[in-house]
Chains A and B, each alone.
Chain A
Amino acid sequence: MSTHTEHQAHSGPEPLDVNDPRLSRFDIVQEGARRDDIEIVHYEAQVVPGSKAERRLTRTVAMMFLLTGVLATAFLAIYIWWPWQWEAGRGGDKLYTPLLGLTLGLALLGIGFGILTWGKKLLPKEVSIQDRHDQPSSPDDRKITGETMRYLADELGVKRRPLLGISVLAGLAPVGAVAAAPLIGGLIEQPHKNNQMFTTGFQPAEGGKKIRLIREDGRPIRPADVSVGGQLTVFPGIEGGVSNKHADSPTLLIHLREDDAQKSRAANERKGHGDYMWGNYVAFSKICTHAGCPASLYEQQTNRLLCPCHQSQFLITDNAKPIFGPANRPLPQLPIEVDEEGFFVAKSDYTETIGPDFWERP
């Protein structure tokens, strides 16, 4: 069946007898298509059977499949025998994953292009036209279906028996609520339990004992630990202070230079935070007031603090006021002092809310 073109045999409205022994298999296929309103208007072999071109294409396709076999075998061999585990000093093998990817990927591409070449080059080209039939249903059918539905409503007679309608609504609405209740009721959490959104780990313990500032390894901090122009991430010295349990408590302790410290102190005074600094040391919340990332890119010359998530910039010497970017609220300042043993403590908890803004923040 090399060429069956044009509009042959579109004539008879009566279907072909598919049991006619004279029909070829293609005739039957074409008849089947016609019964689905498809006209195969063009069907043409791309390669002459037995020709050079056919043999070449056959070889190409076969080669792709064979190559796939080789690559898949290589994948298995690498997967099993290649040393792959990470070892201290040597590291992992940098070639393991790339080799797996290369062999697997090329093997799959081999199958893919093999099939595609087969289908695209060796199978006959065809153009078929199918009718769409996307007209709406017949007006009669529409009418019948519509009436059937109305008939149902009539028979139920809700209009005549309104009590039924009311009772169904009143009865089923609570059932719907019952379905939703466990989900919502189980999930819902009171956000202001223990006043948690407004307090941090620096809140003085029972009895007013002030909380120490500690490092990530738990050691308390002496003033001499932070060099001039240096910064240190500090945590509340309580249980779980250095963990995500107190994700709102990480604080940046900065040792300012003398002239910057003066500016900072003056700015503190203006805001009524006169005693928040200790010496030339300031402590600001590390949690950005914009979206909660740790704003910790401290530029010791310009005294800007940059948040790497959305580029808000805060001026440390001006009460950490936002001077650029999407943040609108200064970073809260932690009032600090040094206790009798010479370690930094928080005088009190933060006096402003930590972290991203929310509706009921006063």
Chain B
Amino acid sequence: MTSDNDRRRGLLARLRGRPVARSRGRRRLGAAVRLAAALMLAGGAYTVLAPGAQAQDNPPLSAAGNEGKALFDVSCVTCHGRNAQGVEGRGPSLIGVGSASVEFQVGSGRMPMARQEAQAMRKPPVFTDEQVRQLGQYIQELGGGPQVPSGNLREGANMSTGGELFRINCSQCHAFGGGGGALSSGKYAPSLKPASDRQIYAAMLSGPQNMPVFGDNQITPQEKADIIAYIQETLKHDQDQGGFNLGRYGPSTEGLAIFLVGIVALVFASLWIAGKS
């Protein structure tokens, strides 16, 4: 069975400690496997969002766009190719992904990637906010795409709508408490703790990596504001009424706590009670 082989190979590779590419592309052989895997690894949603943008004559860039191009040509061109057209087997084309995607990927330090792996991890960002903006401007001017609006992203938010939307659309992967969770074969939904308003907004708009896209037709900007407010204010601020939250992992850490704290304390107490005085 192919899926069986797939799993076994993944397991073996993991045991050997090698970063492993898992995607439906693996089921093919040779170069096709590597291509598909690499596409997925680098967050290949971009290809889809760039219908037929390959052939285009370069329009003149703005000042910020030029700055961004300079940065791009130093740091990104290796994988994403000249004019962000993508490099086979390394990185996808960025035509049409929009500045939202750049803001999320570069702003949260996921890009540039240190190495190709199952999923780009959040790291301290390499670029300053200004540089991220310039890179975004460059990508935006190359092929357009979704943009995060400026201004207060929690304007007029309704917390209870936000909570309801969060539970329907977000909690299945990021968990009720926003702590994140596991996905198949080594992929994961990250914790929302370090995410800023703009990053959450950008993630919903662009659907980075395996996250589904929540376009403005599906979740309106106002609803996005509700969700952001719920995450930032309710989940991160005024939630833990009952003391230390044990990492908000749910019953698994509660079970650990009853043994490590409750049972251990009481066994020590009984050792003392029954001990020789």
A residues adjacent to B (C-beta < 8 A):
46, 86, 90-92, 94, 96-98, 101, 116, 120-121, 125, 216, 222, 224-233, 257-258, 294, 296-304, 306, 308, 311, 313, 315, 317, 323-324
Contacts and interface: CB of A to CB of B under 8 A. Distances in A.
B56 interface: no
A216 B164 CA distance: 9
B218 A302 contact: no
Contacts of A225: 217-218
A311 B183 CA distance: 9
8 contacts: A86-B241, A229-B48, A257-B48, A300-B212, A302-B40, A306-B184, A308-B172, A317-B24
Chain B residues touching A, majority SS: loop
Contacts of A303: 24
A227 B215 contact: yes
Nearest to A296: B172
Contact of B207 (A101, A216, A230, A297): A230
Given A92-B238, A229-B207, A302-B187, 6 more contacts: A222-B217, A226-B215, A227-B218, A299-B184, A302-B184, A315-B24
A304 B184 contact: yes
A167 B187 CA distance: 71
Q: Which of A222, A227, A303, A315 has the most CB of B within 10 A?
A: A227
A297 B213 contact: no
**Which of B40, B209, B241, B244 has the most CB atoms of chain A within a 10 A radius of its CB?**
B241
Contact of B212 (A230, A258, A324): A230
A287 to B, nearest CB: 13
A323 B3 contact: yes
A187 B184 CA distance: 42
Contact of A300 (B22, B213, B244): B213
B224 to A, nearest CB: 13
Contact of B210 (A226, A233, A301, A313): A301
Q: Say what secondary structure dominates the interface of chain A.
A: mixed
Contacts of B238: 90-92, 94
A215 to B, nearest CB: 9
A296 B168 CA distance: 10
Given A90-B238, A228-B48, A297 B172 contact: yes
A324 B273 CA distance: 51
B172 A230 contact: no
A94 B44 contact: no
Nearest to B2: A323
A257 B207 CA distance: 13
Interface string B39-53: 010001100110000
A302 B24 contact: yes
B277 interface: yes
A241 B40 CA distance: 37
Report, nearest first, the 6 A-B pairs whose CB atoms are least far apart.
A91-B238, A227-B215, A299-B210, A227-B213, A230-B213, A323-B3
B237 interface: yes
A230 B214 contact: yes
Given A97-B241, A226-B218, A227-B217, A301 B164 contact: no
B83 interface: no
B129 interface: no
Contacts of B213: 227-230, 300
Given A294-B172, A313-B184, A301 B217 contact: no
B273 A228 contact: no
Contacts of A97: 241-243
A92 B242 CA distance: 10
Nearest to B6: A323
B82 interface: no
A230 B45 contact: no
A298 B213 CA distance: 11
Interface string B103-146: 00000000000000000000000000000000000000000000
Contacts of A46: 277
Nearest to B119: A301
A306 B183 contact: yes
Interface in B167-206: 168-169, 172-173, 181, 183-184, 187, 189
A323 B3 CA distance: 6
A232 B218 contact: yes
B155 interface: no
B240 interface: yes
B6 to A, nearest CB: 8
Nearest to B243: A98
B217 A120 contact: no
Contacts of A98: 243-244
Contacts of A311: 184
Nearest to A91: B238
B210 A120 contact: no
A300 B45 contact: yes
Which of B181, B187, B212 is the most central at the interface, judged by chain A CB atoms within 10 Å of its CB? Answer: B212
B207 A300 contact: yes
B66 interface: no
Which of B209, B218, B277 counts the most chain A CB atoms within 10 A? B218
A257 B237 CA distance: 38
Contacts of B207: 227, 229-230, 300
B239 interface: yes
A126 to B, nearest CB: 12
B7 interface: yes
B211 interface: yes
A130 to B, nearest CB: 18
B273 A120 contact: yes
A229 B48 CA distance: 9
